[in-house]
Amino acid sequence: MTKHRITLQDIADEVGKSRMTVSLALRDSPKTSKSTRALIQSAAERMGYRSDPEIVKLMDHLRAHRTRQIQYTLAYLNHHHDKNIRATLKDVDSFFLEAKKQAWQLGYQLEEFWTQEPELSAKRLSQILFSRGIKGVIIGPTTLDTQELKLDWPLFSSIALGYSLLKPDLHRVLSNRYENTLLALDRLRANGYERIGCAISSDLDHLIHKSYTAAILTYNLELPPKKQAQLFRPKKWDKTNFMKWFRKEKPDVIFGSPDCVAWLERESIQIPESVAFAMELDHTWPVDFSGTRSNLAQLGKVAVNFLVDQINRGETGIPEQPIAVYVKGEWHAGTTAPLISGKKSSARGR
């Protein structure tokens, strides 16, 4: 005898609610009360309800088809103090353009809003977005003075780029700094560098949840003390402390921040003639620096997919359990950490 498959209608009859209410509750929609969601979800589990993946697939297809006919809008919130940050940071522009392209593929358009417009309050911005029928927002990189964003969050699905937005704690898409750092150390070692120095401010490392420190310590576990990467992570991040560390450790290559480049130049220390250098390549430089490059184009695509999935499930507001989606970067050879003459590259495939 074939066992009867539990349907939404069966659950609706059991709890005395409409089929639509059951559907919304099983998708955790805020359009139903917490008590109603708990009642329906408990009944569904007790009755052995399981969603049909083929029906879910069909509904996703129908939603995508519908949205291509009815063009909805997603918001990209530029929460940086610089209104033209996309013109300054090429990778941020790549993120936006790929997100816009992916949004179009799913039947949406992506429109940028600068949150720092004069006299634009959080309440007013929320009203503008809501009146435009915008259900989803992507928050771009922020600065130290814009690390909090106030909106009427229950109105919107959301996802943030990176860790720079501190409040509220939202779902995020991020470049995998931990894997990127391990990749850089592998490549530098493969290029023949024996004394690798890593320089990062404690503030930045803290902001990215100590990803740099974790990667360097992990890397050093596989090496004897004389070949371990030397970490410079001072409480006071300045030229004096950096140069003391540099002259003491005498690294032949540094994986560090742009500040270090400026400090070395002031001391007339040439890159790469006197010391090789690599960094996280999130800016456009006149010099073709070696380093890791975040795949922000892929992050843009992932962000839109994640956001639209939230919208389709009716998930809005500040999440109780924020999800972080990581995307690995890639190595850019550049010219500032070249293969040492006579050495044969032997990079491990991270």
* Alpha-carbon span 60 to 57, nearest angstrom: 5
Summarised one tens digit per residue, pLDDT across range 45-64 is 888 887 665 556 556 655 55
Fold match between 1-51 and 177-292? no
Q: Is the pLDDT confidence value at 139 over 60?
A: yes
Q: Which fold has domain 177-292?
A: Rossmann fold (3.40.50)
Which tens digits make up the pLDDT trace of 29-43? Answer: 777 888 888 898 889
Strand 72-78 and strand 108-114: the pairing is parallel
Which one has a higher pLDDT value, 185 or 94?
Answer: 185
Q: Are 171 and 109 in contact (CB under 8 A)?
A: no
Residue pLDDT, tens place only, 160-174: 998 888 899 999 999
Q: How confident is the model at residue 90 (pLDDT cuts 50, 70, 90)?
A: confident
CA 343 to chain CA centroid, Å, is 36
Q: How far is CA 35 from CA 32, 41, 74, 332, in A?
A: 8, 10, 30, 53
Fill in the amino acid letter for 245. W
CA-based nearest residue to 85, from 262, 268, 283, 245: 283
Give the torsion sign (CA, 176, 182, 186, 189): positive
User: 70 pLDDT exceeds 50?
Assistant: no
Looking at residue 54, what is its pLDDT? 56
pTM of the model: 0.71
Q: Write the CATH number of the domain with boundaries 66-175+297-329.
A: 3.40.50.2300
Helix (H, G, I), strand (E, B) or coil at 25: helix
Longest dimension (CA), the chain: 85
Strand residue runs (E) in 257-327 = 276-280, 290-293, 324-327
* Token couple for 43: 């009944």
Q: Percent of the chain having pLDDT more than 90?
A: 51
Q: How many helices (H) and strands (E) does the chain have?
A: 13, 12
Q: What is the pLDDT of the chain when averaged over all its residues?
A: 86
Question: Pick the residue with more confidence: 88 or 189?
Answer: 189
C-alpha closest to that of 204 among 229, 179, 235: 235
Among the residue ranges 64-78, 141-155, 304-318, 326-340, the one predicted with the least confidence is 64-78
What architecture does CATH give domain 1-51? Orthogonal Bundle (1.10)
The upper half-sphere exposure of residue 6, i.e. CA atoms within 13 Å in the direction of its Cβ, equals 14
Strand partners, 187: none
pLDDT tens-digit readout, 269-309: 999 999 999 998 866 666 789 999 888 888 999 999 999 99
Q: Which of 4-8, 145-149, 163-167 is modeled with the greatest confidence?
A: 163-167
Measured CA to CA in angstroms, residue 260 lies from 167, 199, 200, 201, 219 at distances of 30, 8, 9, 10, 22
Provide the residue ranges of all domains of the chain, joining segments of one domain with +. 1-51, 66-175+297-329, 177-292
